[in-house]
Structure 1
Amino acid sequence: MSDDSSSPVELTRRRALGGIAMIGAASSAAGAGTMALFSDEETSGNNTVQAGTLDLSVNGDGSNAVIDVSNVVPDESGEDSTTLTNAGTLPGYLAFGITGFRTPENGVNDPESESPHEDDPEGSSSGGSHTGELAQSLELRTELVVGGETHQYLVGHEPVDGDDGFVLASNLSLGPYDIDELELSPGQSVDFVTDYRVLNAGNEIQSDSVEIEAEFGLTQEPDQITLPEQRDVPATAVGASDDQKNAGVEFEYANSFDQSLTINNVHVQPDDTDLTLVSDRNGGTDYESFTFNADLHVETPSGDANGWVDGGSDQFQVPGWIDLDSDGYNDAADQEAVLSADGTAIINLYAFRNGSGNKEEMSGNRVSVTLDVTLADGTDTFVPLVMTPD
């Protein structure tokens, strides 16, 4: 690999949530019989009751980067650590979740374009927000450390015989993570420690990056909030007319922003780990017709732009991103969706399959779907959704 490679890895805190605990006072009195009692009255002034605070600080608020690693190269490994501190006056419970991630290509130089594992053409403007190869070689393992001892592993797991607990960045789970009731006293800190390594990589990772967005919160009670805040949307299990199983999922997304947006990419994450593919098998000799003749279709109201991606005989791995702008073919079988400020889109995913390629019934199968969108003002953001199809 040439010396000019640069592959930053960054995990940022999108939002730190705090709460205010209300403090009250109660009094009681009791009397009985006809006894005469002595009494006295005094006045006490300038009394103050102040609400306590919960205030989560990341790196002393000097930076919101939880993981910040740059210029990684093949076969490199290392550790990065950040400190989370309860800077308030009340104890609080920590909450954590991963909102989404991107794997930008950041252009392709000459050595990168010549790699047999490079999927994008040569050119400084080539590649999209989920087309870089670094995530396929970057492995992560994160833990919360309190008082120098591991409290809990969040990404990956504790090393055991034959398994060191690392997971590929491309396989990160989105959504809330359970933390075992980690309570931070006022002034107490916890270290968020990440081990990373880059394995089985070559020139294809040059300039690629991995950008992960996470949320931390501090609450008065455990499980008081769920991060990220996933919107629960109604969904239906659907299929082609001759399907014995309704292996697809149809759901609605109502634009909650005050401006139009473009749906660029969709992350699909079934709870059932046996489901590993989304594909309509449209192409070759294994043709299966569906309503929209596409693996992913976004139907928008009149005046907006529909979106779709049809991988032909290809298939999309899940959990994973489906890019509406590129299915790997130079044709018209892909298009990003544009949704107006008050618009509602109908989104179809077809069909969910197991590792053998067989379709699975999706009724009652919970699925998390994250939309990677660009607002009209240029802001990029994630929209986490969750659904259990009827």
Structure 2
Amino acid sequence: MSKQLELTRRRVLAGLGTIGAAGAAAGLGTSAYLNDTESFVGNTLEAGELDLYVHYDFMVDQGSASGNFDGPLSGTVQGDEDVSEGVGVSYSLSDVKPGDEGSLEFCFSLVDNPAYLWMSGELTDDSENAVTEPEGDTPWETGDGGELATYTRAALYYTGETSDSNDDDVLLTEGTLLGVLSDLHAGVPLHGDGDPTAGVVDRPTFDGGDSTDEPTDDTCVRLDWWVPTWVGNEIQADSVGFDLQFYAEQARNNTGVGDWTLVSTGDDLQTAVDDASSGDTLLLEAGTHTGEVTVDKTLDIRGEGPSNTTYDAFDVGGSGSLTGGRDLGMKIRADNVRVGDLTATGADQVIQYNDNSGSSGRLAGGLVSNTAIVDNGNDGRGRALVLNYIDGAIVRDTAIEDNGNDGLTGWYANDCHVETVHAARNGDNGLYFNGDNNVILDSTVEENQEEGVDVSWKGDRSRTEQRVTLDNVVARNNGQSGSLPAGEGEDIELHDDDGDDSVADDSALLRKVDTSGSSAPLGLRLVDVEPAQVRTENSTFPNGIQDGNDNDVDP
């Protein structure tokens, strides 16, 4: 038996400060599994009980500030079978500034049977609220939405209920608050032994017991958040709100898959996609799955972890081979498709969002997470991961390595978010983008054959403005090809292909970009880009910055 958690209330508080202000609300719900007595003639069967209690412990550190937290810092919540909306706990904070931090820790009591647990989360608010004078004094501020979810960092851990330190914590995922909540949105299976590499099917359960006051299992989860001190005026007056939920399902006679559809290695993946309904989750069991597939509906396609599940599109690791054309593996033609928790290999373009022309219109959303995209197109064809004509895609916590051409290509892609990515040893560029308002942060791009990061501003565009932000990016040792064309092989290259040097139209922010120790021929090249179009903050380019004619420039 199972019951989805819902929340009774959410609150978002906003306060104003000299640097930034925001409120975060986290709602917590619990679920109760209560079975009544079943009677048969001459026999009585009493159903077992599964009742989920969640013990919470919150922490906030705002330095000398006080009084900004609204709500209890600790307590226990229990689901009520008679309350359809469940119960909730708010985590509301105002006047958030760079340097602030906090945590939300949850431990569990299961009365009285062991159970599988899931955790899910959702960003419910990411508001600009107002554009203050310091925030608006930059061409990078659009006023279209808040930046606090992007610039608040978060990390989710397994932690021990009886542990007095964090030394034994096990990381599940980390990145921006936006990215972590995107991962949690479809639900994350929790492991009773705190080992996230154990897969999903028949994973360790959480222990049951009699206590409702103390956790019945030593494994807890903790969500840490912090706003880095280098974040500036862009978060002023912004606010975020988010919900967290927990879901329990009995362990007996159950494999822990929940309402997901398990796809075995011998099953035809295209048939599984065709048979699914929009909004379903397909769980690719541990092992190797092969075959081209077209995804034409909103689905969550996930494996049991990159070390357990492999999608080898053309069975290159087995008896198959590439055809010599441009071999496409997973062709995504629907909004908000998530692919994650697997290794993707064996194609030229192994995951492609939208076709190369965008003839059917632009796609919205999409998430690639906790994925190893490796060894694709090793004859130089194709681009391993492609985001064509798409708005708002997220790529995070992903290794893009040893592919024959570009590692990641964003082609006429807008509002895309790339974080905690390692793009290395690819046959052309590590990351390539054209389009507007794309953000690359907390990533390392190294040892690619040509450019590490290549950004192009096009003349035929879907938006007047085209902006890119690189935040906290390490780019080094790119330009590895032994036959580089003249003017190629930089750690980062920006080139303006439309001939318009207007800062309002095309601009780049490079903040905390580190190319120190790099063997690349050049740190940053600006091709037909005026220095005024580029702003650098706390960035290092010891190998120099030049224009397209090899002249030194100073943005």
Normalising by structure 1, we get a TM-score of 0.50
Please tell me whether Structure 1 or Structure 2 has the larger radius of gyration of its CA atoms.
1
Greater relative contact order, per chain length (Cα 8 Å cut-off, separation 6+): 1
